[in-house]
Structure 1
């Protein structure tokens, strides 16, 4: 089974739309409530909800632009601060989630940044009851090594996502749910690298990738 570039783009769009549906829907609902509400205190509350939903929508769009898109405006090297800000916003939206940032490099190759962002997305999703997402990356000897660790009271990593990360396409069709893991596998394979995934145990899951820097 082969996933065409058009199919993969469609799956990425499906994932983006799925994640944006809730905050954009909240914006619409908030505007409807604001139009009918006359109580000053309730109108102020509506405005706060609208601001929260707008901020969430903008944060998700920024994250997906870097993780899934062409990242226009950046060359082959991407300022790591852009990735950190995008991940911080992603983690902040999750209840009870915190970020431990362990990346010292100022820039990383675009392919490495996309890999890091998508692994962070998968790691954050695995923290179903909150926890800490720790991210490390370094360039050494012409290779970039990336490690994402999720630790929390309940950590779940779908078996199909795990398989797609390490093996890519299989007998099961790639879906919007596994699109990010397929993208990671594809990017790393193109750069002559590999992806490592630990089975969730004792509230910890570790995702790793090694790929050529150029």
Structure 2
């Protein structure tokens, strides 16, 4: 990837982060304005609850993006599986109609694998527009980390350009804030000698990845 493409990808990832952060941060701003004007104790208590909720959502999203998109310098090459598990659980905390099932073998995962897992989960959650089940699995087998994330529900929403980004057929003109994360993990998998794949049907989206464990991992 040349310098221009690197800059474009970084810009699109920043756009995605800003888009996702706009709602909870905006709610914080609105809540503070209401708090400054409101004198009724009960209403002030409701506003404080809103502020607390928005602050938690903002914090969870920032933690997610730090590990899913960023360098995540606070982590070593291996990440405790409880970290991505907690971040994914936070993403669905306000989605009562989404059930999560876990099948994470081992106590740690390589950082590139964690990035792929988190971004797969985000794509799968976005696909469950009417709720459903999110199955998240990962294990090390034959020297490679195998990851499978499956979204199953009554309606699956999936932009085919995201699929192109995952399988490496995305045209440069199709790079956007919507496809940037998928494009990033496709490059990450390629640089680490692995690959991604996906399959979509009317009621399911399956995302899979294989990432070698050996060698100098990038990510």
TM-score (norm 1): 0.95
Shift of 1:171: 5.0
**Mapping for residues 93-132 of structure 1, pairs under 5 Å:** 93-132=94-133
Structure 2 unpaired stretches of 5+: 215-219
Shift of 1:7: 1.9
Shift of 1:99: 1.5
Shift of 1:169: 3.7
TM-score (norm 2): 0.93
The yes-or-no answer on 1:206 pairing with 2:184 is no
The yes-or-no answer on 1:63 pairing with 2:43 is no
Mapped contact 2:196–2:210 kept (Cα < 8 A): yes
Question: Which digits, 9 at most, give the CA deviation of each residue in 1:30-71, with x for residues without a partner?
Answer: 111111111111110000000000000000000000100111
Number of aligned positions between the proteins: 213
Moved more, 34-43 or 163-172: 163-172
Q: CA RMSD in A?
A: 1.5
Q: Give the aligned partner of residue 176 of structure 2.
A: 175
**Mapping for residues 78-157 of structure 1, pairs under 5 Å:** 78-157=79-158
Q: Report SS of the residue matched to 1:138.
A: strand
Q: Report SS of the residue matched to 1:134.
A: strand
Structure 1 unpaired stretches of 5+: none
Q: Report SS of the residue matched to 2:134.
A: strand
Mapped contact 1:193–1:209 kept (Cα < 8 A): yes
Q: Distance in 1 between matches of 2:60 and 2:172?
A: 35
Q: Distance in 2 between matches of 1:171 and 1:69?
A: 22
